[in-house]
Amino acid sequence: MKSNSNQNLSKIRTLTTPETLGSSFRDPSGFLFKQQGEIFRQINLEYRNHYDHLMSSGLYQYLVEHTLMLTHKEIEIPPPDPITAYKIIKPNMLDFVSYPYEWCFSQLKHAALTTLRLQRNALKYGMCLKDASAYNIQFHHGKPVLIDSLSFETYIPGKPWIAYRQFCQHFLAPLSLAAYRDIRLFQLTKTFIDGIPLDLTSRLLPNRSRFSVGVWMHIHLHAKSQQKYANQKIKSSNNFNLNSMLGLIDSLENTVNGMKWKLIGAGWESYYHHDHNYSPNGLKSKEKIIHTWLKEINPTLVWDLGANTGKFSRIASQQNMRTLAFDIDPAAVEINYQQCLDQKETYLLPLVMDFTNPSPALGWQHRERLSLEDRGPANALLALALIHHLAIGNNVPLDRLAQFFSRLGKWLIIEFIPKEDSQVQRLLSYREDIFSSYNQATFEKIFSNFFKIHKVQSVHESLRNLYLMENRLL
């Protein structure tokens, strides 16, 4: 009885006591905290002048009007740390927090250009971006926006850009590695969460990258300068005037704009033309079933796991359901993102994700960057033409698959593809068939332990079946 009441007390405490977010500890200007499921930010007294300048100069207004920054409102609640507190603000909620290692090439490029635009506009209002972390940019309703209201400080003429190193490590390094070497090097941002070291970037880049003045100056020369002037005290200098600062921003902008990742010629062309084995009738029937079921369950947030270029994700996003379209292939995500831009889609966010190794928790105490699972659950999951890749391509037993999906979302629309299907046959063509339990009956039995199966429908002119399931645990 006593232990029960203790548990209840601790539950109440976690609901009402503010909990500082694990990623919010570096900047002494303030911190984020969670209270009753909502996110707030405490602004500390030491940041008071900078914050007042941001709000009174018109910079905040300008950035919000031009969708460069997430809005916030000042609110009156008791601060978690009253001694240091100046104000509490409540930022507009994001649907999902994504990380640079989950972005495609153009997403990182657009986030970089947004950061430079923020810096150029801040200078117009007598402020300067003190932080150029890629993690401060999030895709909100289709656009990259700054989410950290404490990123600005009053501009001191003559002082170089404090965030220059960070900008180069977080943006230029991965972009240049992808443009000149290989898109898969983007994954280095997962290992180096404060950006890829420039000496490493310089060593990995091919010599031809030195022919780009921007890459040579901001990566190769920058890396050399870091080695040469290591541990050297910096004398105060008024040498870096506003024109030099604007020249630096201009040069970085030209360098970022010059970065291109070509799908064609890089070995990704075959992914471009997504081959599937549906007849036109089969494809129509699959779309219709998914459309009807989504309408019935009416989820607010949908995760499409293995979305390719987002054909089926759009069934959800076009019904104004916030949708994340995950795919392992950076080329598919790139195509999907370009389509989102062309069609001005605001309900769909394509992201790179390998479900055999989903994004882990990273950083200090494993709490700076959340794992994929910690950022869920979604209201609905789409797992279409996916499980044969995980069960046969990656040897994951069906019960573990069911368990994994049950942790990610409430509703599940899943497609079962039998062994007789040509796509599964292709997976089995070069290996021994050790998957005796991979069949429809076992699939239904195992998934029933975690989900209640509401509906089953076969896809016309195919061997495939679609299931609508509801999580028993969530």
Provide the binding-site residues for other proteins, judged by CB under 8 A. Answer: 160-161, 164-165, 168-169, 197-199, 210-211, 213, 216-217, 221-222, 224-234, 237, 239-241, 243-244, 246-248, 250-251
Least distance (Å) from other proteins to the CB of residue 153? 16
Least distance between other proteins and beta carbon 169 (Å): 8
Return the number of the residue (112 or 301) whose C-beta is nearest other proteins: 112
> In angstroms, what CA-CA distances link 372 with 22, 100, 378?
15, 13, 11
Nearest distance, CB of residue 237 and other proteins, angstroms: 6
Long-range pairs for 152-156: beta carbons < 8 A, 24 or more residues apart = 152/50, 152/53, 152/54, 152/59, 152/122, 152/127, 152/128, 153/50, 153/127, 153/128, 154/49, 154/50, 154/53, 154/126, 154/127, 154/128, 155/122, 155/123, 155/126, 155/127, 155/128, 156/128
CB of 168 to other proteins, least distance (A): 8
Query: Minimum distance from CB of 53 to other proteins (Å)?
Result: 23
Helices and strands (H, E) in the chain, number of each type: 19, 16
- Phi and psi torsions of 114, nearest 5°: -65, -45
Q: Report, in Å, the least distance between residue 225 CB and other proteins.
A: 4
* DSSP secondary structure letters along 230-248: TTPPPPP---B-HHHHHHH
Q: How far apart are CA 452 and CA 472, in angstroms?
A: 6
Indicate the DSSP class of residue 103: S
CB nearer to other proteins: pick between 86 and 216: 216
Nearest CA to 337 out of 107, 51, 148, 69 is that of 107
- Residues 367, 22: Cα–Cα separation, whole Å: 5
Q: Closer CB to other proteins, residue 251 or residue 346? A: 251
CB of 164 to other proteins, least distance (A): 5
DSSP 209: G
Q: Which is nearer to other proteins, 14 or 227 (CB)?
A: 227
